Amino acid sequence: MFVPTSYRPPDSSWMIDVVKDHPLGLLTSNGDPGEVPFATHLPVIPESFDTEAADLSGSVLLCHLNRQNPHWSALRSGDPVLLTFTGPHGYVTPSVYAYTPAAPTWNFTSVHVRGTVQRIDSAEETLDVITATVRAFEGRFGSDWDMSESIGYFRKILPGVGAFRVQVTGADGMFKLSQEQTCEVRDRVRSSFDAQQSTHCRAVAGLMDRLP
């Protein structure tokens, strides 16, 4: 991903937040020669984050998908993959700039994670991925649902689940938040996002508040 210098995140925690807060990643990997790449949306949780690495290298992410998906059959341990995460975003109308000429744009946040696949073949380890995913998402987005009475059901569906790790080799973060504008214009853009009903837009305003 091409990231102009002004749009790079202040530190790796910004990328980690996008991965944690927007965990429906898009997994892409190469298809057969002459064919388009495979692409699958799937839930992603961290097994570990290397917070010392500016590009998240050394981190490990856990994923799973339906084994009937041809993407699963095509994945081999050691294959390179890309995981894409889309964070808060919103349209910027030139009317908020208060100057002309001007052009509309889109403020957005995105993280591209590169890594290699490590397939998980053990049924028990696959179950561990499922339960860890439930704990992570119930804690952040759910109601702390108690899964204990559903573990037997989880075991029944295990044959249809393909779990794997992504060993992260690097990541790029794009945080396009009107950094190219003057402080006065950027504040007007931030205020316009903060006034909107969209949670994405208000989240963009929050990120703009955090800019150095």
Average pLDDT, the chain: 97
Cβ neighbours of 166 (radius 10 Å): 24
Record the tokens describing residue 182, joined without a space: 């003057």
**What is residue 202's predicted lDDT score, i.e. its pLDDT?**
97
| pLDDT bracket for residue 71 (50, 70, 90) | very high
Share above pLDDT 90 across residues of the chain, in percent, rounded to a whole number: 97
Q: What are the tens digits of pLDDT across the range 85-116?
A: 999 999 999 999 999 999 999 999 999 999 99
Whole-structure pTM value: 0.95
3-state secondary structure of 196: coil
What gap in Å lies between CA 144 and CA 167, rounded to an integer? Answer: 29
Q: What are the tens digits of pLDDT across the range 41-55?
A: 999 999 999 999 999
**What is residue 31's predicted lDDT score, i.e. its pLDDT?**
87
Q: Return the C-alpha torsion angle 119, 31, 61, 108, nearest 10.
A: -170
Q: What are the tens digits of pLDDT across the range 174-200?
A: 999 999 999 999 999 999 999 999 999
Q: Which amino acid is at 146?
A: D
pLDDT surpasses 90 at 33? no
Record the tokens describing residue 46, joined without a space: 């961290």
**What is residue 41's predicted lDDT score, i.e. its pLDDT?**
98
Q: Are 85 and 28 in contact (CB under 8 A)?
A: no
Q: Are 161 and 130 in contact (CB under 8 A)?
A: yes
**What is residue 34's predicted lDDT score, i.e. its pLDDT?**
84
**What is residue 147's predicted lDDT score, i.e. its pLDDT?**
98
| pLDDT bracket for residue 80 (50, 70, 90) | very high
pLDDT surpasses 90 at 59? yes
Q: What are the tens digits of pLDDT across the range 112-156?
A: 999 999 999 999 999 999 999 999 999 999 999 999 999 999 999
Residues with Cβ within 8 Å of residue 73, at least 6 apart in sequence: 67
**What is residue 192's predicted lDDT score, i.e. its pLDDT?**
97
3-state secondary structure of 42: strand
